[in-house]
A and B are shown apart, each in its own frame.
Chain A
Amino acid sequence: IAGITQAPTSQILAAGRRMTLRCTQDMRHNAMYWYRQDLGLGLRLIHYSNTAGTTGKGEVPDGYSVSRANTDDFPLTLASAVPSQTSVYFCASSDTTDTQYFGPGTRLTVL
């Protein structure tokens, strides 16, 4: 059982480029989340999905989009990357007790 996987592990991206961060879980959790973590700012929610086919905006959604075509996958897309999107991105899923399980993270650098 892998839990939650994220890809890529790290990426250096030129500003203005499009980038999709991948997230897959095999726990059959309905809810999934995308966070960014920046030094001094903690974990901030970007987007979430309570179930396949639905998505919602979190605290910092601007510049990001998500889709939830099925239960397992929850990709995060940066349509046109900017340097302020340099961060560590974590995907998470939660079970019925609201416990969230995090993926290993993607370290993204936008130059």
Chain B
Amino acid sequence: QKEVEQNSGPLSVPEGAIASLNCTYSDRVSQSFFWYRQYSGKSPELIMSIYSNGDKEDGRFTAQLNKASQYVSLLIRDSQPSDSATYLCARRGAQKLVFGQGTRLTINP
């Protein structure tokens, strides 16, 4: 089992809809989780970090963490074509972040 698993996609969502990205992890002791966005040909950039169970909102983005079920998700409301990118989920491991393979998201106008 991979330490951090994501559906590689592509995930296609119409403009204005909610995009839902999911990530599961295998290490029950993980405390810190991160969502990064990576545009094609660019480097990853942080969107959200979440450390506690529940929801954390920042603008159109909401991160959700459920430690009991070992999953973390990212919701993007009112999706825009500029949200089209690969989204990487990561958890804090021993002295490093462990990344999932990423989910490629396409927002269709």
**Contact partner, A43, options B8, B32, B44, Cβ 8 Å:** B44
Shortest CB–CB separation between residue B94 and chain A, in angstroms? 10
Closest chain A residue, CB of each to CB of B94: A56
When distances are taken between beta carbons in the complex, the residues of chain B under 8 Å from A48 are 95-96
The answer to the question of A65 belonging to the interface, with a C-beta cut-off of 8 Å to chain B, is: no
Task: Count A-B pairs with CB separation below 8 Å.
Answer: 43
Instruction: Report yes or no: B49 in contact with A42, Cβ–Cβ below 8 A.
Output: no
Cβ B44 vs Cβ A102 within 8 A: yes
- Chain B contacts of A45 at CB under 8 A? 96
B88 to chain A, nearest CB (A): 7
Contact A40 B101 (CB under 8 A): yes
- Are A42 and B44 also in contact (CB < 8 A) when A33-B96, A48-B96 are? no
B46 interfacial contact with A, CB 8 Å: yes
Contact yes or no, B43 A100, CB < 8 A: no
Q: Which residues of B contact A102 (CB under 8 A)?
A: 43-45
Interface residue ranges, A against B (CB under 8 Å) = 33, 40-43, 45, 48, 50, 56, 58, 90, 94, 97-105
Since A43-B44, A48-B96, A102-B43 are in contact, a sample of 7 more A-B pairs with Cβ atoms closer than 8 Å, ordered by chain A residue number, is A40-B8, A42-B99, A45-B96, A48-B95, A98-B92, A99-B46, A103-B43
